[in-house]
Amino acid sequence: MTRRFWLLFNLLILVPLLTYAHPGPIQTGTVSAGPGQKLDQVYVVNFRTGFHDHTDESGRFTLPDCQAGDSLGIYRLGYFSQVVHLKSVGTPLDIILQPSPIVLDQLVVNGSVNPLRQVAEIDMKVSPVANSQELLRKTPGLFIGQHAGGGKAEQLFMRGFDVDHGTDVAISVDNMPVNMVSHAHGQGYADLHFVIPETIGKIDFGKGPYYADRGNFNTAGYVNLETLPVISQNLIAMEAGQFNSYRMVGLLNLLPTDGIHRAYLAVENVMTDGAFDSPQQLSRTNWFLKYSGQPSSHQHLILTASRFASRWDASGQIPERAVKSGAIGWFGAIDDTEGGSTSRSNLQADHLFLLDAHSFIKTSGYLSQYDFDLYSNFTFFLIDSLNGDQIRQKETRLLSGVQSVYHASLRLGDWEVGYRAGAGFRTDEIDDIGLTHTKDRLITLDTLAISDIVENNWFGFADAEFDYGDWKLNPALRIDYFRFTLLDAVKKPFGTQSFYDTRFSPKFNVIYTPTDQWQFYLKSGMGFHSNDTRVVASGKGTSMIPIAVGADLGSIWKPIPRLMITTSGWILNLEQEFVYVGDAGVVEPSGKTRRMGFDAGFRYQMLDWLFADADVNYAHARAVGEPAGEDLVPLAPEWTSTGGLTVRHESGWKGTLRYRWMGDRPANEDGTITAEGYVITDLMVGYQTGPWFAELSVDNIFDNDWKETQFATETRLLTEPSPVTDIHFIPGTPRFIRLKTGFEF
């Protein structure tokens, strides 16, 4: 079986190279927004022949059967459209598009394998994000919840998953992974607080395990944040709000933006006490430096360095029964000595080398130094009735990786073919990953676990896009090899344990685009999330690399020029679920699950300055093999929806009114405990005149009491004779008013 997979993989790589053919006459070109700003997903069409292409990440396109006198249409959302008249054929075109106000007429439904990326692009351009939490909310159907003090990674919900901190959504920034394998707090932990929102230019996302270049944790989907290659203007801004909340941000060009060498610096500082009775004292500092240049006409180089550090206090999860009895208030605490600190330093390099007019190689590498130290108390006095159950989770990590991908386009008879083949590795070296029993963050009572871990992931993938008329076929294969190495410093006999496993992930997508207003797609594939190395060593998991098998059937429709409607029905089977374990504050493997549901949404430009949008998502999640009535997946969201109105007027006024709704969901397997849903409405009004701007934001304008994150946990309070299982929650932010002012220059 293994030999067959390797044979298929090699055929995917070699066949397109051996059959490379480009019948003339061919017209090639590059589309950009200026020096160093190559534009991908630009729709280029020959009006005479109907042949079309969309630019790749190097900004290049290829059109067959061109001749002098042909007219080419160039379309990209957020840029003025162009018509280029060919005086001759063969000389590469260099096309520069000028930015324009958002007009949904510009949106063309093309044959992209992942056309839903345009939804996030519309949302980003219409309503830019104001904080790191809002970045993930730009992904339709993805919900987030602040968790334990604002310094800790948010809890995620998507497609019927309580993803905890990232177990089933692969998150990256400029393709550098954010999810942490074998993390001290939980598998897949993804902390995005090192991202400065103003530096993000695009959000690339996909739902389901259908993308060959996305590996570990890509089961429910993936999100990749892409930072700006250059900034158009310098920026200085300050934000102040209730609860002693302050934020300062600055972006500064270090080199001219119109040269072949460009660089900018971004800095951010955030402080807040939050609404809690015990102040959070959150303090976070970020800086980000990015250089982009062209060593030669065939090369493009990007270098990035960033640093993030944060510390905070936390009130933790509180039991519903303590609030109802009046023992504590809505924003109170049982143990207010929780909290922690974390930091991450990153170096990244991306090199793109143009081989010829139809192929290029992109190589990326990253190196991250990461520290994490967290104090939590999930069960209060359940285990230790005298000192309490506070725990400390800590680790130090060195994360490194390299990936190189070959891209090519060619023509085989009537078929247009796009092709990618890539390979790479990721290594996590984790020192002193520990779990200790503590008191008041000052006293260590007992060492429960401490170990060193090295986890290696080598991978290769290949996929092809075969275009024939209105059809696109996209077969793909990904191969991942894992090595898990554990040195346990507590459990005897001491020694190093190593484990190995391989995962093959085939995928096949079919796209049918009969017009530039309508598209249908059927996607299918296998993905996976790896197990924690400690779980692998213990033998608790049913598999080292549990698989996910899914399919999507959906459509994109533009019934009128300024309205886009998206629909999708989906199913996802998971070989092994992750479940939350309260006493250790981690996730552990469970049994098989099946999820099915649908996503629907629309984007509508009602007037030149008024936009409306909404997304509705439903998921039916069940454990496989469990008795009926006891097969619910705890905390799996069933109904969710987001939407709102956005104003962007040429007079300088702008504003948004948005809601997010999550319905009630079961908190345990038999549904006897319910995690209550909520509806929250946020408002922002802003005005800009010349370089100066001001924005007034009001979160939770109706001042609702709501539970942002919830768990069904067995705990014991100091005054209770026996344990009680009920809802424990982090209270959501009350009405929160803040003002942001700044200027661009």
In order, the DSSP letters of 706-743 are: -EEEEEEEEEB-TT-SS-EEEEEEEEPP-SEEEEEEEE
Environment class of 363 (CB within 10 Å of its CB; exposed 0-12, middle 13-18, buried 19+) = middle
595, 631 Cβ separation under 8 angstroms: no
Match 């700044």 to its residue by tokens: 742
pTM to 2 decimal places = 0.91
Residue 92: is the preceding peptide bond cis (ω within 30°)? Answer: no
Per residue in 78-107, is it b (16+ CB within 10 Å) or e — as a string? Answer: bbeebeeebeebeeebebebeeeebebebb
pLDDT the model gives residue 17? 44
Written as one string, the DSSP assignment of 652-673 is SEEEEEEEEEE--EESSTTSSS
Give the residue among 170, 176, 180 at the shortest CA–CA distance from 223. 170
Domain boundaries, the chain: 2-100, 117-381+404-744
The residue count of the chain comes to 745
CATH class in words for 117-381+404-744: mainly beta
pLDDT at 13: 47
Locus of tokens 């998507």:
158
| Residues of the chain predicted below pLDDT 70 | 1-24, 113, 115, 130-133, 147-149, 540-542, 578-589
pLDDT at 9: 46
Angle at 473 between CA 472 and CA 478, to 5 degrees: 135
CATH topology of domain 2-100: Immunoglobulin-like (2.60.40)
Express each pLDDT in 406-457 by its tens digit. Answer: 999 888 877 888 899 999 999 999 999 999 999 999 999 999 999 999 999 9
CB 230 within 8 A of CB 292: yes
Q: Locate 232 and state its tokens.
A: 């158009």
Q: What pLDDT was estimated at residue 147? A: 67
What is the residue type of 380?
A: F
Q: Residues near 390 by Cβ (< 8 Å), separated by ≥ 6?
A: 335, 337, 338, 375, 376, 377, 437, 438, 439, 440, 441
d(CA 113, CA 211): 9
In tens, the pLDDT along 95-148 reads 999 888 878 887 778 777 676 777 777 787 777 776 666 788 888 899 888 765
